[in-house]
Amino acid sequence: MRIRTATNYGLVFIIVIIYIPIFLLTDFDFSIQEDVMGFWIMIVVGSIITLYMLVASIKNYYLFEEKELFYVMGFKKVRIPYEAISEVRVSYNPVSSPAMTMRRIEIISSYWSKKLFSLPARKDQALFKKELKKHCPRATIDLSKIEK
């Protein structure tokens, strides 16, 4: 079962648009070879960031498979076996992991200490909780703050 994640398009817009003032405020002198190279480096880096953010905002979902939870955010793919999941809760830590929202779902498993993922889309939150409880009956699942 595929469940889309929430995407904060305002956050995506800010991250992509912040590149424009940096680019415009840089004083390039195209008669100097280093400035021409710097210009092209800024174009390439900005294009990569923009492409990544666009792909991540479009291709962003959870997939409940037979034996594992599959999370996709752009080019990033994570597989988590259900038996490895020990705890699931809401987190407000924006620094530790890339996600398309400021509130995230923290999954603690036996494979690693914890990972943060985007929240499911509002319309799919109840279904996400139901599927998670069905596939991970031994895990502690506290998603009570998800509706706020």
Q: At what angle do helices 9-17 and 33-58 cross, to 10 degrees?
A: 170
125-147 mean pLDDT: 88
pLDDT of residue 127: 92
Tens digit of each residue's pLDDT (9 = 90 or more) over 37-75? 777 888 888 888 888 878 877 888 999 999 999 999 888
d(CA 119, CA 57): 13
In three state form, how does the secondary structure of the chain look? Answer: CEEEECCCHHHHHHHHHCHHHHHHHCCCCCCCHHHHHHHHHHHHHHHHHHHHHHHHHHCEEEEECCCEEEEEECCEEEEEEHHHEEEEEEECCCCCCCCCCCCEEEEEECCCCCEEEECECHHHHHHHHHHHHHHCCCCEEECHHHHC
pLDDT of residue 46: 81
Judged against a pLDDT cut of 60, whether residue 118 lies above it is answered with yes
Tell me the C-alpha to C-alpha distance, in Å, between residue 2 and each of 8, 72, 77, 127. Answer: 19, 10, 14, 10
pLDDT-derived band at 85, boundaries 50, 70, 90: very high
Identify the weakest region by mean pLDDT among 53-57, 114-118, 143-147.
Answer: 143-147
pLDDT of residue 112: 76
pLDDT-derived band at 17, boundaries 50, 70, 90: confident
pLDDT of residue 96: 59
Whole-model pTM?
A: 0.72
